[in-house]
Amino acid sequence: MTDAVARAERLAPRMAERAADYDRDAAFPRRDIEELREEGLLGLMVPSRLGGLGAGFEEYTRVAVALAGGNASTALLFNMHASVTGGLASISDELALGMGAAESFFDARDRILRAAVDGAMYGVAITEPGVGSRLSELRSTYEAEEGRYRIRGTKAFCSGAGHLDGYLVAARRAGSAEDQPTISYFLVPKGDGLRVDDTWDPLGMRATASNGMEIDAWVGEDGLLGGVEGLVLPLANAMPQWLVASYAAVYVGLAEAAIREAVSYLRTRPVAGERGALANLAPVRQRVGRAEAEVHASRLALERAARLVDLRPGDPETNRWTYRAKLLAGDAAMRVAASMAEACGLGALRRGAPLERILRDARSGAIMPPSSDVTGNHLGAIALGAEDGLAPW
């Protein structure tokens, strides 16, 4: 392990101070991202041979939990970037050769990762209107022409759209079979081929700037990530950690922040007609106790998933834990934030107060892919005897 977690913990209080302004304006948290860059955290997942911190998945989760304690939107942007760099870094030369990757892949992989160490930041553009994030149903297409690819389509939400250096775009090969589509990942650099639909104004996670994008872009042969077509679905089914458990870290950090905020309010807010603060009331104490136990349980599930991802990536039990961690974290964040809000009352819920923002942010955990309903359905099917579950992708 590096000192990355300590760096993230140092940044989090400063992010917390700026969070209300970015939230109010639904603005990209520019200063937060600059500080991540200055601290070298954009290179967290990049192997040390390329100048990065060479972190594994477990270390990523600890960094993301710490950042989410400051501003969950910033942590989510960081999660998207870590998914691109972490996913790419995990494709070793051996694995790429085994998959039949083109020669151009190796240089492209190292170039993208080195750029992250130098401060480049990436996002992920999967979700489409009317499709959500169901990868097998994506409508964006690509065509191969004279050693280049043309990618066209509409993406509904992409955190950081318009503010980043490149975007991981998932698209289907034009004309590929409906029941067995070839879905591939491309890294599309910022530029003329991407038009941002700047309309993001949601309930929570407002500082993610998750705008839509119209895409009509050309990339070279080396823009095909992994160096082979059709990687997206096999990867999502075999090693879903960057599509599933990475979000869990953000929502565990957010749930912890809900308790911290509530505790500091409850200890100082006096009770009318009584001596002492709200914290002395038994109903309030039991709310905090339940919340605290629930957050610790979801953190333990996250830690278990993360450790397994580092030890045995792609193992069926590892994958089940990634889904469990996502489900528990998304639901815990929502329940805990709601309960803490109720314990504190309106005094802690003024517009712009930290707990008010956390309550709105926490609503997103269960709907981020795979949603709690989809995840529960998948895990339930496995528990009921379907070996591979329901292939949520």
Interface residue list for ligand FAD (CB under 6 A)? 76, 80, 123-127, 132-133, 157-159, 205, 208, 210, 364, 367-369, 371, 373-374, 377
Nearer to ligand FAD by Cβ, of 207 and 325: the residue is 207
The CB-of-370 to ligand FAD minimum distance in angstroms stands at 8
Closer residue to ligand FAD, CB minimum distance, 134 or 307 = 134
CB of 205 to ligand FAD, least distance (A): 3
DSSP label of 302: H
To ligand FAD, the closest distance from the beta carbon of 301 in angstroms equals 20
State the minimum distance, in angstroms, from the CB of residue 371 to ligand FAD: 3
Q: Which two tokens stand for residue 50?
A: 């390329």
By C-beta, is 53 or 124 nearer to ligand FAD? 124
Cβ contacts of 68 within 8 Å, gap of 6 or more:
75, 76, 249, 250, 251, 252, 253, 254, 256, 257
* Beta carbon nearer to ligand FAD, 69 or 153: 153
User: Which of 126, 252 has the CB closer to ligand FAD?
Assistant: 126
Least Å distance, CB 375 to ligand FAD, is: 9
Of all residues in the shown chain, the one whose CB is closest to ligand FAD is 132
Q: The tokens of 293 are what?
A: 């136990």
CB of 218 to ligand FAD, least distance (A): 21
Measured between alpha carbons, how far is 122 from 189 in angstroms, rounded to an integer?
9
Which residue bears the tokens 């009584």?
Answer: 274
Secondary structure (DSSP) of 264-287: HHHTTSBPTTSSSBGGGSHHHHHH
Helix (H, G, I), strand (E, B) or coil at 288: helix
Compare residues 277 and 381 and give the one whose CB is closer to ligand FAD: 381
Contact status, residue 336 vs residue 291, Cβ threshold 8 Å: yes
CB atoms within 10 A of CB 369: 18
Task: Quote the tokens at residue 347.
Answer: 């005094």
